Amino acid sequence: MIKLTNISKYYDYSSGRTYALRNVSLTIDQGESVAIVGKSGAGKTTLLNIIGGLDTFQEGSYFWKDQDLSKLSDSRLAKFRNESVGFVIQDFALVPHKTALFNVMLPMYFDKTPHKLMKPMALESLDQMEISHLANKKVSVLSGGEKQRVAIARAIVKKPKVILADEPTGALDAATGKSVMEALMDLNHRGVTLLIVTHDKDVASYCDRQIVLGDGQVKHDRKNYAIKTE
């Protein structure tokens, strides 16, 4: 489904060239759950952003199924992101003075989703995250776990093929983080491909596979045989 071949991302400075990613090659199949781990500065978020079409690269190739994403125009790349990828990030990126329902509906304002379908689709997504009762609550009054569930509901409202989560439990306590991971894994068990950037070993243990980055390179790519967190 996702195939990266010799991807390199670098920045040229007067002092020389600095690589964010160097010759990264990997394949991710539909339905996999993958943890991308490594120290700060290893290239984890850069890799996730390239996979999500949010960042570019100078060398290599990236194919989504049979489509070369490097050949897409900005408008077609935006369409790809909106239709195929759901993003979940650490600080939620919600509009605090708006309701949970509005926040989940937000992606649909940027495409051609018929207005009459927006609310039912958003309510279905909130219900899937077991927070439909919070639909009319302003985000500013919600707990951290509730906010992250709203963010996940927004990520899945267009029924994406892939969810990209960047430190999705980083701002949460352990119990709430466990609840959020269980929600993400439930989506994965329904067939959604899940990629999670994390520095948390417990979070990584949920996934079937771990890709370890270091200095912008893949150091290890292995099946995860760790015992899942109870």
Alpha-helical segments (H) within the chain: 44-51, 74-84, 100-105, 115-128, 144-156, 174-189, 201-204
Q: Give me the pLDDT at residue 79, please.
A: 86
In terms of Cα–Cα distance, which of 148, 153, 157, 158 is closest to 178?
148
- Indicate the pairing of strand 85-89 with strand 2-13: unpaired
In terms of Cα–Cα distance, which of 129, 126, 150, 128 is closest to 139?
150
Q: Give me the pLDDT at residue 111, please.
A: 82
In terms of Cα–Cα distance, which of 180, 84, 96 is closest to 130?
180
Average pLDDT over residues 90-110: 94
Q: Give me the pLDDT at residue 112, please.
A: 80
The pLDDT of residue 180 is above 70: yes
Which domains, and CATH codes, for the chain?
A: 2-223 (3.40.50.300)
Q: Give me the pLDDT at residue 225, please.
A: 63
Q: Give me the pLDDT at residue 176, please.
A: 93
The pLDDT of residue 226 is above 70: no
Percent of the chain with pLDDT over 90: 82
Q: What confidence category does residue 230 fall into, taking pLDDT thresholds of 50, 70 and 90?
A: very low
Alpha-carbon separation of residue 92 from 100, 140, 146 (angstroms):
12, 12, 10
Q: What confidence category does residue 229 fall into, taking pLDDT thresholds of 50, 70 and 90?
A: very low
The rounded mean pLDDT for the chain is 93
Give the DSSP H or E segment for 150.
helix 144-156
